[in-house]
Amino acid sequence: MNYLVTAIGTDSGKTVIASALALALNADYWKPVQAGHPTDSETENKLTGGKTMIYPEKYVFKTPASPHYAAAVDNVTVSHSDFQLPKSDRSLIVEGDGGCLVPMNNVK
């Protein structure tokens, strides 16, 4: 079973909740889009003590902003066809970027 962790915005605790779920469910973790550093995958690794399989992000933007804006600033086009859940034998915790209404309006 896969789970999506989202919330109302940035800095609302998604990574902490995703880490707790990954540990409690013995699940893997994936954040498909990351804007800014440090990455949430790095934070996830620290919070879980390295006990969680973390899949690499599909997109990592330098600009710490909502993904549609960061993609535009970094001159990257995001395509929905680029997103496929990683193959895993365990449950997967997917962490959304920003809030539940964050647009990805430069998507082809």
pTM score, whole prediction: 0.88
**Residue 103 in this model has a pLDDT that exceeds 80:** no
Q: Which of 14, 31, 62, 87 is catalytic?
A: 31
What's the CA gap between 61 and 68, in Å, rounded? 10
Phi, psi for 20 (deg, rounded to 5) = -60, -45
Residue at 29: amino acid letter = Y
Question: Going by C-beta distance under 8 Å and a sequence separation of 6 or more, which residues neighbour residue 11?
Answer: none
Tens digits of residue pLDDT in 39-98? 889 999 999 999 999 999 999 999 988 888 899 999 998 887 888 999 999 999 999 887
Architecture of the structural domain at 2-95: 3-Layer(aba) Sandwich (3.40)
Domain boundaries along the sequence of the chain: 2-95
Active site residue 31: yes
H-assigned helices in 1-108: 14-25, 40-47, 67-73
Helix (H, G, I), strand (E, B) or coil at 99: coil
**Rounded Cα distance, 80 and 3, in Å:** 19
